[in-house]
Structure 1
């Protein structure tokens, strides 16, 4: 995680490092502020919220990759076609994007990106 240090020009003192807000915290804020709304940023936050308890040591991106691999294992176990489920999921996604636009939330994006630096 990238931490910026700020210098107080008046007295030359270094002020405590400023850390970006953890994406876990931003996810919870989004879930509260969008309660009851049909919003694709909420859907993105809900997906992250679903994976982060189990994949908390990962970054958001690697947590998603690990979760998708685990879902494939579940499909194998149950005899389900991951490809067929993914095709249906893509249809749902396309409909939601058509109805509400691409998910956008600058604060969440910044928080996720901060962990990659």
Structure 2
């Protein structure tokens, strides 16, 4: 396999593994505005960070492992996709865990029924 597609395939794998969580969770894809509010700050911050780092020659991406499609600022398209895919997978996972947690389990880890019984 051509190494320049490995990054894209890894991102597609991340999406494939977490896609079923949409069915178990709270409908992340059905709330695009909320999803954008969760992902957009990450995309903007880390895209800017990478563009500056590339411009200052702190790092670059090996052409053997990216498709060669570069965005303004010499950012590989795969890197922008990474900044979208990883937070998306995290939100899907988080929402699925919330939807599947047993009733009575609070987010702070306390179990109200057991705490009351200890008296």
Larger Rg, first or second structure (1 or 2): 2
**TM-score grouping bracket, smaller chain normalisation:** 0.3 to 0.5
- After TM superposition, the score normalised by the length of structure 1 is 0.34
TM-score, normalised to structure 2's length?
A: 0.33
Structure with greater proportional strand content: 1
